[in-house]
A = this chain, B = another copy of it.
């Protein structure tokens, strides 16, 4: 009887192990405040021992682009988009009160005064803590972003099924 009473517990811990409080975050936004929140949650969860995967799509890709990286697209439309849609984790706009970059600059100043890490430092910390970062191939093609213009340490270029295979294993699944 004792063993049978243990069985369910063992089976249950097995169930729990199969859903190890995994965190997935889709980062569609390229706004400084939203991307910062994404990385604060990702690094916090990784520090607590939760496996974390971030999936960057659309404007969120800007956080992973090298500063000032140009597009390599041949057609004029994507080249024009590439010119407007500047990459670089250090130059993302605020979703509010950006005022052509002044608001974002002010917020970075206040963060530096308070010794808070900026997005470039948060990306490094995330990579040190083993956060997986995946860039969405579909939107890379759409926006004319190529692998050689991304920062180092991107784990994978992948599509929606890769994301869903991670998300179905977790319960903290955010879309930012």
Residues of A within 8 A of B (CB): 1, 3-5, 7-9, 11-12, 15-16, 19, 21, 23, 26, 28, 30, 33-34, 37, 40-41, 44-45, 48, 50, 57-59, 75, 77-78, 80-81, 84-85, 95-97, 103, 106-107, 109-111, 113-114, 116, 138, 141-142, 159-161, 163-164, 167-168, 170-176
Contacts and interface: CB of A to CB of B under 8 A. Distances in A.
A130 B161 CA distance: 18
A169 to B, nearest CB: 9
A143 to B, nearest CB: 9
Contact residues of A: prevailing secondary structure: helix
A78 B110 contact: yes
